[in-house]
Amino acid sequence: MAEVRQVPEASFTSYYGRPILKPAKWREPHLPAYLFLGEMSGAAAVLAAIASASGQRGLARAGRLAAVAGAAGGAGFLTAELGRPERFLNMLRVAKPTSPMSVGAWLLAAHSGLVSVAAASDLTGVMPGVGEAAGRAAAVTGPLLATYPGVLLANTAVPAWHSAYRELPMLFAGGAMTAAGAAALAITRPGPDGPPGTGPAQRVALLGAVLESAAGFAIERLIGPEGEPYRQGDGGRMLRVARAMTLAGAGAALTARRSRAGAITAAALLTGGGLAAKFAVLRAGVASASDPKYVVAQQRATPGGARP
């Protein structure tokens, strides 16, 4: 209590420094884990479908397994995140394009089903045609599942999220590729000349790392004052950690075809980086919602909400 020296005189910025918005209720590690697993699953499904189409069976299977694991884990975290987990299925009461979470729930449901069928068929060899078709379909749900979280977060009043609505999907797309690439690197075993899958996995990871880093940079530097929480405080710290890990992971990935240890290291670092980036995004969002200055600055700077 002693921190407030007297009934503060109203300044032109806020009501006793209190937040205008409610900070997101979403918790750690649930939300970051969900975001990470979901995007990973999405990209993995694409990777698997293309691998399958190009005949790289090992890589395809790795992708399918990663996709299933991601989808299942993500759904678990998402459910645990709810105030009333037992009512998860209420998500499927309605389908609302205005609610990215509704879209996401349907996507996740469809995607989980598809990747499960694809993986099951792949592992058991039962109904390969159906499995293949499901795998291809998952290549459609996957990219959407991977990037919709950008909309999920951006479609809020949270300044650091909303202002980054262009960049966030890119961040998640990049993150998805990195994560899926990392997963594939971890799962596929390199042969003497490297197994057929390692190369694409490595490149997916590298491309993802580049995209993710670029999007991260854009969010930090280009979106305006709302980028600040990605540079400062908890969010900023976490994003720097994420970037360091991702870049280190990318470096390690260059060795993936030569060394199993390098591949594992790369996978771990990339996974860590991707996950950390999700933590960073959550924290930056919370910070921006907790400090009225972001809300006021943004709205004062763009009367009538003229931005974008």
Partner 1 sequence: MAECHPVAFGWVVEAKRRGATVLHLDPRFTRTSALADHHIPVRVGGDIVLLGALVNHVLSGRHEFREYVSAYTNAADILPEDFTDTEDGAGLFSGYDPGSRRYDNTTWQPTGERDETLEHPRCVFQVLKRHFARYTPELVEAVCGVSRQDFALLADALVAGSGRERTTVWVYAVGWTQHTTGVQHIRTAAILQLLLGNMGRPGGGIMALRGHASIQGSTDIPTLFDLLPGYLPMPRVEDDSLKAYLTRLPDTGFWGLKDAYTVSLLKAWFGDAATAENDYCLDYLPRLSGDHGTYSTVLDMIEGKVSGYFLWGQNPAVGSAGSRLQRLGLAKLDWLVVRDLALIESATFWQDSNEIATGELDPTRCATEVFFLPAAAHVEKEGSFTNTQRMLQWHDKAVDPPGDARSDLWFIYHLGKRIRAKLAGSTDDRDRPLLDLTWTYPEEGEDAEPNAEAVLREVNGYGPGGRLLNGFTELAADGSTSCGAWIYSGCFAGGVNQTARRKPHTEQSWVAPEWGWAWPANRRILYNRASADPQGRPWSEKKAYVWWDEQASQWTGHDVPDFERAKPPGFRPERGASGPAALAGTDPFIMLADGRGHLFVPSGLADGPLPAHYEPAESPVRNSVYGQDDSPVSKLYPDHAITHDQVGGHSAAYPCVVTTYRLTEHHTAGGMSRTLSRLSELQPELFCEISPALAADRGLENGGWATIITARSAIEARVLVTRRVRPLRLSDGSVIHHVGLPYHWGTAGLVRGDTVNDLLPFAVDPNVLIQESKVATCQIVAGRRPRGPALTVLVNEHRRAAGLGDLPGGPERGNG
Partner 2 sequence: MGNRLFGPLADVAADAGYTEPPRRMGFFTDTSVCIGCKACEVACKEWNALPEPDAGMMALTGMSYDNTVELGANSWRHVAFIEQERPVPAPAGNGNGHAGAGAGAQRWLMASDVCKHCTHAACLDVCPTGALVRTEFGSVVVQSDVCNGCAYCVSACPFGVIDRREDDGRAWKCTLCYDRLRGGLEPACAKACPTDSIQFGPLDELREAAAVRLADLHASGETGARLYGHDPSDGIGGAGAFFLLLDEPEIYGLPPDPVVTTRDLPAMWRWAGAAAAVMVAGIGMAFAGRSARPGG
The interface with partner 2 within residues 165-204 (CB under 8 A) comprises 165-166, 169-170, 172-174, 176-177, 180-181, 193-194, 196, 199-201, 203-204
Q: Is 139 helix (H, G, I), strand (E, B) or coil?
A: helix
Q: How far apart are CA 111 and CA 145, in angstroms?
A: 8
Q: How far apart are CA 67 and CA 301, in angstroms?
A: 43
- For the record, the structure tokens of 275 come out as 């996950």
**CA quadruple 11, 15, 21, 23: dihedral, nearest 10:** 100
Judged by CB, which is closer to partner 2: 88, or 113? 88
For residue 10, state whether it binds partner 1 (rule: CB under 8 A).
Answer: no
Contacts of 1 (CB under 8 A, 6+ apart): none
Count of H-run helices and E-run strands, the chain: 11, 0
For residue 18, state whether it binds partner 1 (rule: CB under 8 A).
Answer: no
Query: Nearest distance from residue 124's CB to partner 2, in Å?
Result: 26
Residue 93: CB atoms within 10 A of its CB come to: 10
Give the N- to C-terminal CA distance of the chain in Å, as an integer: 41
Judged by CB, which is closer to partner 2: 218, or 241? 218
For residue 255, state whether it binds partner 2 (rule: CB under 8 A).
Answer: no
Candidates 93, 189, 221, 258: give the one binding partner 2 (CB under 8 A): 93
Query: Nearest distance from residue 292's CB to partner 1, in Å?
Result: 20
Contact partner at residue 177 from partner 1, partner 2, none, CB < 5 to 8 Å by partner kind: partner 2
For residue 7, state whether it binds partner 1 (rule: CB under 8 A).
Answer: yes
- For the record, the structure tokens of 92 come out as 């499927």
Contact stretch for partner 1 (CB under 8 A) within 1-9, 14-22, 115-123, 215-223: 1-9
Judged by CB, which is closer to partner 2: 19, or 241? 19
- For the record, the structure tokens of 166 come out as 């262009």
Amino acid identity, position 247:
L
For residue 26, state whether it binds partner 2 (rule: CB under 8 A).
Answer: yes
Contact partner at residue 255 from partner 2, partner 1, none, CB < 5 to 8 Å by partner kind: none
Contact stretch for partner 2 (CB under 8 A) within 65-73, 112-120, 136-144, 243-251: 136-144
Query: Nearest distance from residue 108's CB to partner 2, in Å?
Result: 11
Candidates 72, 80, 109, 155: give the one binding partner 2 (CB under 8 A): 155
Q: How far apart are CA 202 and CA 183, in angstroms?
A: 10
For residue 4, state whether it binds partner 1 (rule: CB under 8 A).
Answer: yes
Within the chain, what is the greatest distance between any pair of CA atoms? 74
Query: Nearest distance from residue 281's CB to partner 2, in Å?
Result: 13
- For the record, the structure tokens of 135 come out as 């795998």
For residue 1, state whether it binds partner 1 (rule: CB under 8 A).
Answer: yes
- For the record, the structure tokens of 174 come out as 């990049």
Q: Interaction with partner 2 in 71-90: which residues (CB under 8 A)?
A: 81-85, 87-88, 90
Judged by CB, which is closer to partner 1: 8, or 191? 8
Judged by CB, which is closer to partner 2: 82, or 126? 82
Contacts of 121 (CB under 8 A, 6+ apart): 127, 128, 130, 131, 132, 134
